[in-house]
Amino acid sequence: MRKIGIIGVGHVGATIAYTLVVQGLADQLVLIDESDKKVIGEQYDLLDTMAGLDTVTTIKVQDYAALNDADVLITAFGSNRDESQSNEQIVTQIAAKIESADFTGVLINISDPCDLFTALLQAKTELPVKHVIGTGTLVDTVMMRRAIGLKLDLAPQNIGGYVYGSHGGSTFTAWSTVTVNGRPINEIQGSYGLNFESLMTASNYGGWLALAGKGFTNYAITTCVIKLVRAILSNAHLAVPVSTYSPEFETYIGRPAVVGANGVESLIMASLSELEQGQLKAAASVSKQKIDGLHRN
């Protein structure tokens, strides 16, 4: 039985729930939201969707206890708009409920600020660090692939490599890891007149166009989360950038890792250039300061 929980069924959480149902990836779903009305609306829309499918997913709502034997828990709750509570208080309350449910699976956090909330969820739930993953720079990595693919008129899937750093904060493309149709991009940069800075700008600008145009983003992040869910459920040992705990920096930061049934199995130690090593260290230092600040509160 593949059981998946989602906390927060807004634009992102609901799109993930829909994708899990239509792709037949979950036998049981547990949907939780601050709003009863919203979660019941999503439950019945999904039940109606299922009536036209060939697969069945049972859907429970507002039941933290049902997370007890879930394989994967996805957190996609939103920030507090009325500021009656700090976001840290919300994360702490949600973490306490996850802990009371005795959830032992793999937690994938999407909620921003991603590295911070992932670290806070890990600390407050006391789940093993390898079981608590943030989507981190996975979405930044697919945006980088889209930008290079569009520039070179190639399928974005033919672009390899990783964006590192803090999603929503300081991120950088590790160009030494980037390949185009299997060739290091550094080798073809001159012949194609590629400007790395312009590519990064195009990558981020596309993300901005999506967010500014719609007011939210949901599809790209959903495909990233589905990739992680598949890797966990099938124990794929997939190399993928995520927000994960880095012992060398003593903090959560976006970097490539191997993901399987037990979450992060190992970190991928790519041969970064000296500049890239410095960029990663700087991003990790900022992330650590912010996370340490949260723990002191």
Binding positions for NAD(+) are 8-13, 33, 87
Distance CA 240, CA 138 (A): 7
- Minimum CB distance to ligand NAD smaller for 97 or for 230: 97
Q: Are 259 and 242 in contact (CB under 8 A)?
A: yes
Q: Is 94 among the residues that bind ligand NAD (CB under 6 A)?
A: yes
The H-or-E segment that residue 242 falls in is: strand 238-246
Which residues form the catalytic set? 167
Q: Which stretch binds ligand NAD (CB under 6 A): 141-149, 216-224, 244-252, 261-269?
A: 216-224
Residue nearest to ligand NAD (CB): 10
Q: Are 109 and 121 in contact (CB under 8 A)?
A: yes
Here's the x/- map for ligand NAD, 111-130, by CB under 6 A: it reads as xx-x----------------
List 132's β-bridge partners, or say none: 107
What are the residues whose beta carbons fall under 8 Å from the beta carbon of 269, sequence distance 6 or more? none
Q: Is 8 among the residues that bind ligand NAD (CB under 6 A)?
A: yes
Q: Is 76 among the residues that bind ligand NAD (CB under 6 A)?
A: yes
Q: Which stretch binds ligand NAD (CB under 6 A): 61-69, 106-114, 255-263, 283-291?
A: 106-114
Q: Are 134 and 242 in contact (CB under 8 A)?
A: yes
Here's the x/- map for ligand NAD, 17-46, by CB under 6 A: it reads as ---------------xxxx--x--------
Distance CA 198, CA 217 (A): 23
